[in-house]
A and B are shown apart, each in its own frame.
Chain A
Amino acid sequence: MGSDIIIKSDAQITGIRQACQLTVAILNSLEDRIKPGISTGLIDQWCAEQIEAAGAISAALNYQPAAEQKPFPNSVCTSVNHTICHGIPSHEKQLRDGDIVNVDVTVVLDGYYGDSSRMYLVGNPGTLPRSLCTGAHNCLMRGIEAVVPGERFASIGAAIQEEADQCGYSVVREYCGHGTGLEFHEPPQILHYRNSRSMQIIRPNMVFTIEPMINAGERHTRLLADGWTVVTKDRSLSAQWEHTVVVTDTGAEILTANGKA
């Protein structure tokens, strides 16, 4: 299976980095704009405008992974509160004070993919949603710290699970991070939970996303009838942060790092 993972050239990494930085710029632009009363449809519109202005295209728009599945109808995913991922933006869906929302942006720029997502606090959420968002970010960063060339991909899931366990959160299993850069989803799967399946060795110049979905309650998921929206089965809150990383000689470089931070 290891041979399936694409080792990117330096030129390819340069292209992927540019695509990744476009996602950062888009996500940064939302920081001051997401507030109570705006709709997720408007967030999608803002993102679509910026993607087009940059001469890129959205990887999510019309994404149809299987013939029997409806194409994804929007440019970004907006996942609010108990929605784990792949929430469909809607002008009918207005954000309320206290909500938390994930915006997931994947762009294709000059043929290269960049993929990143971030949590936004809407107004003034309570302690639990704030803690969950912080905890989910800690999980992501623990996972990135575990990216060490020569180690196995399983170390990423183990680190994330360890962090989640200590906070009493659960880790979603049905959806995973993935290789990316030349295609939207490339091998390998990046499992975010403790597992013994991800035995491939991490090697320099591999590019992949880490995007743990962390639930305040149980880990179990439910797919809604729209074929895309994934929610927590117990309707507990869920949070997710995502970075695209490239493996260096000593660790990971976050290609979607926020220059503001």
Chain B
Amino acid sequence: MAAMGTQMNTAFNRLLAGLALAVPAAAWADPQTAADAAVVPEGLTLQLYASAIPQARHLAVKEDGTVAVGTRADAVHLLRDTTGDGRADWRHEIGGLESPNGVAWLGDDLYIGETARVLKAADVLARVAANKPVSLEVALDGFPTSKHHGARVIAFDESGRLHISLGVPCNICMPPDPELTGTIRSYDLDSGSGYSVAYGFRNSVGFDWHPGTGEMWATDHGRDWMGDDLPSDELNRIREPGLHFGYPYCHQGDLPDPEFDDRPCADFEPPALKTGPHVANNGIHFYRGDAIGALAGKAFIALHGSWNRSTKIGYRVDMISFTDDGSQVSERSILVDGWLDGDDVLARPVDIEQLPDGSLLVSDDYKGAVYRILPLDG
């Protein structure tokens, strides 16, 4: 007979009742508390940009400053600051979607990545402004339907090819489809044809292109259940198409998998940076321009935070510096800290994007919020 949450009159019952009540109370506390607790480098500040966005995930910013927020719920949220006060005061919700985690703009069209397909909302802002229903058409279809690692990340490169990350449907397994699982793929939307840019990913939840070299860099989550300190998550540089980054045979570039150990780590491309065990590095963004001098030339990685480590780790945004030729990581520091207080989590950052004025946005699926980082005197 299954145990019931609040119906046993024992000490165990009190334990259960506490658990049942703890999650919603913590998860939906005021996101302003997370904004207030955030610690950012001197000269910068962090403010609440938007709230009440359940499971806010990946971000995409249009040239006019309209922000699309993907979610793991059933809606994409469009946001804009129309008054210039640094907070989103206009919003529109596109509902009826299935885990629309990925968002990307191509001109006036918004693309939405669900688990199994990519949808196109053509000319979406004009339609919203004219009070017309948002038109959704299928741009790409046929991706795996598994919900495990099924939150898709999508982005366009400068040539207009759509890229999508396709995680494996498991913790550790042989990718069931060598092209459509454990890969990042590139598509020409006119023809629908695509190819795999990189292999050997467990689940990349963020990628971006170095503005100087044009090379893609992608985060990857390491496997679970090898202990608290292994393996590290990865930041990978895709210096040429077709590289294999090791999963499931090799983790963090030098750690053979105990189950899939029949290929040596030397067969695979090592990560450019080991970002830490269980940190869950998600979105990455390369800073464009130099509107905020302290951020110029850097990249930022959202560390969503561990879910199964005995001591929590992550829950912050890191800042990465590169060598002059952009080929290697030269330094790592913290951009946003203060969201983990002992075992208490205040925010779980997912993605970072840049507004036209050079300020940064950080999404948080724990508080359902988006924060903005800007100069203290801005």
A14 interface residue (CB < 8 Å to B): no
Query: Is B12 a contact partner of A197 (Cβ separation < 8 A)?
Result: no
Query: Is A176 a contact partner of B308 (Cβ separation < 8 A)?
Result: no
Nearest chain A CB to B19 CB, angstrom units? 7
| Given A165-B169, A189-B19, A196-B308, also A67-B4 (CB < 8 A) | no
Residues of A161-201 whose CB lies within 8 A of B: 161-162, 165-166, 168, 174-178, 183-187, 189, 194-197, 199
Query: Is A199 a contact partner of B12 (Cβ separation < 8 A)?
Result: no
Query: Is B1 a contact partner of A69 (Cβ separation < 8 A)?
Result: no
Query: Is A166 a contact partner of B169 (Cβ separation < 8 A)?
Result: yes
> B19 contacts which chain A residues (CB < 8 A)?
189, 197
For B3, give its contact among A1, A151, A175, A194 (CB under 8 Å): A175
Query: Is B12 a contact partner of A176 (Cβ separation < 8 A)?
Result: no
Identify the closest chain B residue to A76 (Cβ). B1
For B4, give its contact among A104, A117, A175 (CB under 8 Å): A175
Q: How far is the CA of A115 from the CA of B1 in the complex (A)?
A: 7
Identify the closest chain B residue to A183 (Cβ). B10
Query: Is A106 a contact partner of B13 (Cβ separation < 8 A)?
Result: no
Query: Is B145 a contact partner of A213 (Cβ separation < 8 A)?
Result: no
Identify the closest chain B residue to A60 (Cβ). B1
Number of A residues, CB within 8 Å of B: 46
Query: Is A199 a contact partner of B224 (Cβ separation < 8 A)?
Result: no
> B147 contacts which chain A residues (CB < 8 A)?
165, 168
Name, among A117, A151, A162, the residue most crowded by chain B CB atoms within 10 Å (CB to CB).
Answer: A162
Nearest chain B CB to A193 CB, angstrom units? 12
Identify the closest chain B residue to A85 (Cβ). B2
> B306 contacts which chain A residues (CB < 8 A)?
196
Nearest chain B CB to A86 CB, angstrom units? 7
Query: Is A86 a contact partner of B1 (Cβ separation < 8 A)?
Result: yes
Contact with A along B1-40 (1 / 0, CB 8 A): 1111101111111011001000000000000000000000
Contact with B along A126-148 (1 / 0, CB 8 A): 00000000000000000000000
Q: How far is the CA of A168 from the CA of B115 in the complex (A)?
A: 12
Query: Is B5 a contact partner of A166 (Cβ separation < 8 A)?
Result: no
Nearest chain B CB to A252 CB, angstrom units? 16
For B2, give its contact among A175, A187, A199 (CB under 8 Å): A175
Query: Is B169 a contact partner of A177 (Cβ separation < 8 A)?
Result: no
Query: Is A151 a contact partner of B8 (Cβ separation < 8 A)?
Result: no
Query: Is B310 a contact partner of A187 (Cβ separation < 8 A)?
Result: no
B225 interface residue (CB < 8 Å to A): yes
The 9 closest A-B pairs by CB, nearest first: A175-B2, A196-B307, A178-B3, A165-B148, A65-B8, A65-B7, A165-B147, A185-B3, A85-B2
A-side interface residues toward B, CB under 8 Å?
Answer: 1, 4, 59-60, 63, 65-67, 69, 77, 85-86, 104, 106, 115, 117, 151-152, 154-155, 158, 161-162, 165-166, 168, 174-178, 183-187, 189, 194-197, 199, 211, 213, 240, 242
Q: Give 16 pairs: A residue, B residue, CB < 8 Å, sorted on A.
A: A4-B11, A65-B4, A65-B9, A67-B9, A85-B2, A161-B148, A168-B147, A174-B4, A177-B2, A185-B3, A185-B12, A195-B307, A196-B306, A197-B19, A199-B308, A213-B2
